[in-house]
Structure 1
C-alpha cells in the first residue's frame, strides 16, 4: 500500500498532516515507511520521529525511473504502507510544467494515489473547484481525496466535506487551526526534530481522520515493475570515513551514506562541537547544517579545528562544511575563525541561493576526475568569495563554484552520490590509497585497523 500527500503550494501543511497520519497509522499497528520528495534534509527528521523509521528522499531530477523505483523498494522493505510527503506544490518542479523534480513526477512513477492537503483557513465551497482542478489537470496523476488543514470548527469541516462530495472527492481528514500544532521554523525551513520536538501528542489528539477510507485508497495501487537492487552487494570494509554529526552538521542523504557503506566504507561519526580529537580515519566527510548558529562554539574548539587542518587524507565538505573549512565565518558583526583549509571568509546574506545543480569538474578532486558531471542541490544563505582553484562549473553556464586542491573538495553543492556512483567509488578509492600510503607517526605502527572504530553508521549515532 502507498499514499502520497501533496498540496497546491508550499506551506499548506503537508508535513503537519503527514505527522498526524503517521501517528494514526502506527496506532492501528501498521509499519509505515515515510519518504520525502525532493532534496530535503529537515522534514525527514520530523517524519522519522513520528514513524520510528528512517525516511528516504525520492527525487526525479537526481534519479531516473529505475533508480527511483529501486530506492522506493529499498526503503519500503518490511513496511505495511509507504507514506510519501511531497515537496512544494504538486506540479512545482525544475521546469515550469513540473515534469522533472516534482511531486507529480514521483506520483506518476510510483503509480501512487494522491491526497491533496489544502489550507482551508478562510475557505468554504471554493475547496471543491480547487481540488477538482488538481484532480483533472494531468492524466497519470490520480488525486483521490483531500485533507484539510487549519479548519475553524466541526461545522467548517462539514461544509468542506459537503462541497468536496459534490465533485466526487472525499474529505479524508482534517486538523484544526491551532498554534500548538505548528512546527518551529528558521531560515532554511523547519527546525530539526532533534532541536525542537514536533508536537506529536497535540497532533494525535487533534487529528480527525477516516482511516478506513485512507487505507482503502492506499490499497488501490498496482504492482510496480521489477528493478535491480538500489545498493550493490556489500563489500568488506576497506577505508574508514569519519563524518561530522551533531547539531551543527547533520545534512546527509541516508541512501548516500548507505551506498558508501555498501562500497566498503566504515562510517564513524564525530562532533565538531564536542570532540577535541578526530577518530582515526582515512577520509573526512563534512556535511551541511547550521554552522552559523554555532559559530562561537565551533571556533572555540581549537583542538578539533587544528586536527582537521592537519588531517592528511581526502576531505569532502558540503555547504555548512564548506563554511567550516573557510578561514572564518562572519555572523552579523562578529568574526569567528574556522579551520582555514580553504581560502576566503564566509558571510551570511539576506537572500538564499537555491536550486538543482548539474556541475562539471574543472579539476580532479576526491570524488571526480576533470570533466565528470554530477548532480546536486544548493540551499544556503552564506556567501564565499570566488576561489582561485574552483571545483565546479555549472553545466549550461559559466558560473564556477567551490574549491579543490585535489585532496580537499569544498563546495556549496550537496552532491547526490547515488546518481553517480563513480563519485562514491572514487572517494573510497582515494581513501583506500591513504590506507596503503600510511605514514606512521610517533607511536603508530600502521594505518588504523578497520572494524574496531567508534560505533556509528549511516544516519548518525
Structure 2
C-alpha cells in the first residue's frame, strides 16, 4: 500500500474570507473525531497559527517558500505531517497572490502544487448564491494543474442559502464540502499587526463545534488523501549542550516552532523567561533570544523591570550572545516613544524607537554589512519586516543592507560583538547554518 500524508490547503479569493476561522473549525472538528491534526499556516504570519494551535491541540507550523526555499519547505512539512493523521494548511491572501502579480510564485497555489496538496476553496457566501459558483469555477480554471477538490461555504445565512449555493456549485462540477453559518461570535478581531493572538480571544469550544457541524468531514478526509512526501534525513548529532534563554510572554512571542526545533537539534537547551515578570535571566544561560511581539502594549511594565535591564546589559557587556528581532530590538534600545511619551528600555544598544501609523511590511533579500551572530559580512539572507515602530535616527552600526524595487538602499539593524538586533525576522529553521553560527557564539560567549 502506498503511504499517504492526508493534507488539504484551505484557500480563498482574498484576505478576509474567513480562512482562519474555517481552518480552526476544521481542526477542532477533526480533533473531536479523535484524529491527530497537524495545522500549518502559509506565509510568515505569527498570529493566525495561535488560533490553529488552540483548535488542533498541536503546535501550528509556518510554511513559506520565500524564507525556507522549496526543498527545505518540503522537508519540514513532511517531517511534521508524518506525525499526524491529517494536515490542515491555511493559505495566505487570495489563492494566487504572491510576491508578483504576474506569477504565482510564493502564493498559496504555488505551495499547494509544491506539496501535491488538494485545495479546498473557502468562499464567503454572504450576499451571493449563484455567484459563489462563478467565483469558485474561476479560481479552479485559472490554473488547471491544481487539484481543487471542492468548496466550503462560509458565512451562510441559513440552510436554504447553503442549498442555493450548492445547487450552483453542482452545475460547475465542484462539490460542496460543508458550510459555516454566519455568526459574529466566530469573528476574529484584528489589531494593528493583524489578527489578535488566540490567548486574547475567548474561545467557546461548544459553540465552535456547533458551527463546525456543517463541515462534511468524511468528504473532506476523502479529498485530503495524497501520497506521502519523502522524509528528510535525520539531523546530525547535536553539538555541546548550551542553555539559551528565550523571551516568551504577552510582550514577546513571535517565534517559529521549526526554528526552535532546529536550535534544539543542534544542542540548545531553550529556557523560557518573561521580561515582564522575571527579575533576572535564568541561571547558566549562554545566549538570549528576544523575539518580536507587542512591547509597545506593555511598555510601562517592561520599563519598570529595571533589574532585568541591568542583567541584560551586564550579560551583553560580558560577551553573552544576544539576538533580538523587531520587538526585541525595541526592548534592547534606550527608549521607546509611545503616543508621545518616552519610556525607558534596556539600554543594551544605542538606539531609540517610536511608534508610527505606517506599517512596514514585506519580504527582504538582505546582505550582511558586517560580521554578526548570524552571518559573516557579505552573506545573503532572506527575511521579512512587519512593524509599526521606527528608529528615531539612522542606524549607527547597521547589520543588514538591501535594495528596494525603486533602487533605494536601506541599511538596518545593529550588529556589534555578540549582540545582533534587527527589524528583520529571519527563520533559523530555514537555514541550519544560521542556527549553527548563533550557537557557536553562545558556546564561546561569557556566562
Structure 1 segments, 4+ long, off by >4 Å, are none
Deviation at 1:236, TM superposition (A): 4.8
Indicate the residue corresponding to 1:215 in structure 2: 221
SS state at 1:419 partner: coil
What is the alpha-carbon distance in structure 2 between the residues aligned to residue 67 and residue 2 of structure 1?
Answer: 18
Indicate the residue corresponding to 1:291 in structure 2: 295
**Within the alignment, does 1:300 sit opposite 2:311 as a pair?**
no
Q: Any residues of structure 2 matched to 1:272-287 within 5 Å, and which?
A: 272-280=275-283, 281-287=285-291
Deviation at 1:139, TM superposition (A): 3.1
What is the alpha-carbon distance in structure 1 between the residues aligned to residue 204 and residue 334 of structure 2?
Answer: 39
Deviation at 1:98, TM superposition (A): 4.5
Indicate the residue corresponding to 2:3 in structure 1: none
Q: Any residues of structure 2 matched to 1:189-268 within 5 Å, and which?
A: 189-207=194-212, 208-219=214-225, 221-224=226-229, 226=230, 228-229=232-233, 232-268=235-271
What is the alpha-carbon distance in structure 2 between the residues aligned to residue 41 and residue 361 of structure 1?
Answer: 25
Describe the superposition over 1:68-117 as per-residue Cα deviations: whole angstroms up to 9, x where unpaired. Answer: 11101111132111111111111111122343221111100111110011
What is the alpha-carbon distance in structure 2 between the residues aligned to residue 178 and residue 401 of structure 1?
Answer: 44
**Which TM-score applies when normalising by structure 1?**
0.91
CA contact (8 A) 1:251 1:288 kept: yes
Describe the superposition over 1:358-394 as per-residue Cα deviations: whole angstroms up to 9, x where unpaired. Answer: 1110001111110111111111111113211111001
Indicate the residue corresponding to 1:339 in structure 2: 346
Indicate the residue corresponding to 1:188 in structure 2: 193
> How has the CA–CA distance of structure 1 residues 319 and 362 changed in structure 2, closer, same or farther, with 3 Å as cutoff?
same
What is the alpha-carbon distance in structure 2 between the residues aligned to residue 339 and residue 139 of structure 1?
Answer: 54
Structure 2 residue runs of 5 or longer lacking an equivalent are 1-5
**Within the alignment, does 1:368 sit opposite 2:371 as a pair?**
no
Deviation at 1:187, TM superposition (A): 0.8
CA contact (8 A) 2:79 2:231 kept: no
Q: Any residues of structure 2 matched to 1:54-69 within 5 Å, and which?
A: 54-69=59-74
Q: Any residues of structure 2 matched to 1:159-198 within 5 Å, and which?
A: 159-198=164-203
What is the alpha-carbon distance in structure 1 between the residues aligned to residue 127 and residue 90 of structure 2?
Answer: 24
Indicate the residue corresponding to 1:411 in structure 2: 422
What is the alpha-carbon distance in structure 1 between the residues aligned to residue 176 and residue 204 of structure 2?
Answer: 23
Of 112, 115, 128, which residue of structure 2 is paired with 1:107?
A: 112
Deviation at 1:314, TM superposition (A): 1.3
Indicate the residue corresponding to 1:349 in structure 2: 356
> How has the CA–CA distance of structure 1 residues 416 and 139 changed in structure 2, closer, same or farther, with 3 Å as cutoff?
same
CA contact (8 A) 2:68 2:431 kept: no
Indicate the residue corresponding to 2:23 in structure 1: 18
Q: Any residues of structure 2 matched to 1:35-50 within 5 Å, and which?
A: 35-50=40-55
Aligned residues: 433
Deviation at 1:197, TM superposition (A): 3.6
What is the alpha-carbon distance in structure 1 between the residues aligned to residue 153 and residue 218 of structure 2?
Answer: 17
SS state at 1:417 partner: coil
Deviation at 1:195, TM superposition (A): 2.6
Structure 1 residue runs of 5 or longer lacking an equivalent are 439-446, 448-461
What is the alpha-carbon distance in structure 1 between the residues aligned to residue 202 and residue 244 of structure 2?
Answer: 30
**Which TM-score applies when normalising by structure 2?**
0.94
What is the alpha-carbon distance in structure 2 between the residues aligned to residue 21 and residue 393 of structure 1?
Answer: 42
Q: Which moved more, 1:323-332 or 1:182-191?
A: 182-191
CA contact (8 A) 2:329 2:421 kept: yes
CA contact (8 A) 2:9 2:90 kept: yes
SS state at 1:3 partner: strand
Indicate the residue corresponding to 1:387 in structure 2: 395
CA contact (8 A) 1:360 1:373 kept: yes
What is the alpha-carbon distance in structure 2 between the residues aligned to residue 20 and residue 402 of structure 1?
Answer: 40
CA contact (8 A) 1:287 1:321 kept: yes
CA contact (8 A) 1:374 1:419 kept: no
Indicate the residue corresponding to 1:72 in structure 2: 77
Root-mean-square deviation (Å): 1.5
